[in-house]
Amino acid sequence: MIMLQHLISNTPVWVWALLVFLVSRGIAAMRPDETSLTKLAIVPALFTAWGAWSLGHRFGSSWEAWGEWVVGIGAGMGLGWMLLRRATLTVNISTGRLWRSADYTLLPLLLLTFVVKYGFEVALSVSPSLNLDVGFRAAYLLLSGGFTGVFIGKYLRSLRASRLAMPRSALEAAG
C-alpha cells in the first residue's frame, strides 16, 4: 500500500489531468455524434507527442528505438483502421462535420494504453537499467508505437470517410 501511495504521489499532476481528459473523450465517443476532424485528431496527436517525447527522453536519437516505435505504429494503424470498418461515418455537407456512430472501443483502448504506458514509465523510473534490456525495450517501443498507431489508424479511417463524402468543391474551399 505504501508503494502505491508513493507511486501516486510522485506522478506529475499533468498525468492525472491527461487520464481525466482521456476518460472524458472515451465516454463522449460512446454516443453517436457529429464532430470535426480536428477534434478527432486530438487523441492521435496527443499519443504521438507523448510517444515522441518519451522516446527522445529515454533513447535520444537511437535509430533502432525510433525504428521499433515506427514499426509498432504501422501495425497499430492497420488495427485501428479495422476497428472502424463497421462504423457509420457520414459527412454533413452543409457544415463539413463528420457524423459518427457510437464507438465503444475508444474508452477501453484509451484506458489500456494509459495503463501500459504508465506502467512502462514507472518501471523505467524505478529501474533505469531496463533501458538496456533488449526484450523490455522492444516491448515498450512496439506497444507504445502500436497503441499510437491504433489511434492514428482510426483517425485516418475517419479522414478517408470524410474525403469520400465531401464534394470536390467543398474540399477545395476548405483549404
pLDDT in tens, 152-165: 999 998 888 877 76
Q: Which helix (H) or strand (E) holds 126?
A: helix 106-126
Question: Domains in the chain: how many in total?
Answer: 1
- Which one-letter amino acid corresponds to residue 150? V
Q: Give CB contacts under 8 A, 24+ apart, made by 75-78.
A: 75/142, 75/145, 75/146, 75/149, 76/145, 76/146, 76/147, 76/148, 76/149, 76/150, 76/151, 76/152, 76/153, 77/149, 77/150, 77/152, 77/153, 77/156, 78/149, 78/153
pTM score over 0.75 = yes
What is the average per-residue pLDDT within 48-67? 90
pLDDT tens digits, residue range 79-107?
A: 999 988 777 778 887 777 888 888 898 99
Reduced to 3 states (helix: H, G, I; strand: E, B; else coil), residue 122 is: helix
Task: Tell me which DSSP letter residue 94 carries.
Answer: T
Q: Print the domain residue range for 134.
A: 2-174
Alpha carbons 90 and 81: distance in angstroms, whole number: 16
